[in-house]
Amino acid sequence: MEKTDALDSLSALAHDLRLDTFRLLVRAGPEGMAAGEIAEALQIRANTLSNNLTILAAAGLVRSAREGRSIRYFARMEQMRDLLGFLIQDCCGGRPEQCQPMLDQLSCPC
């Protein structure tokens, strides 16, 4: 991942509503959620959500697909993985002795 893509993703996630939206979609999994369902769940206006979904989509963190009248949104886990990869690579830059101990402490809560 390029630095500019990482900046886009970080900016997209560095926003209360967008972080909530992304987390919600991650939890929704492969079925995704319709824009209306998201707005309902997060108690926000349709157009505010739409603007922020556009920003998440531009950053590659979500994708959309029309389904009848509504439009479903899905979290793009690949992008999330690439972002984590970028941040980790960032930390390692030539200094494995600093990076590895950090990663060892990182455990997946699964």
- Residues near DNA, by CB under 7 A: 11, 15-17, 34-37, 39, 44-55, 64, 66, 68-71
Q: What angle (nearest 5°) sits at the alpha carbon of residue 32, between those of residues 2 and 45?
A: 90
Contact indicator for 38, 24 with CB cutoff of 8 Å:
yes
Chain length of the chain? 110
Nearest alpha carbon to residue 80 among 15, 4, 5: 5
Q: Binding mask 25-64 vs a second copy (x if CB under 8 A, - otherwise)?
A: -xx-xx----------------------------------
Residues that bind a second copy (CB under 8 A): 3, 6-7, 10-11, 13-16, 19, 22-23, 26-27, 29-30, 77, 80-81, 83-85, 87-96, 98-100, 102-103, 105-110
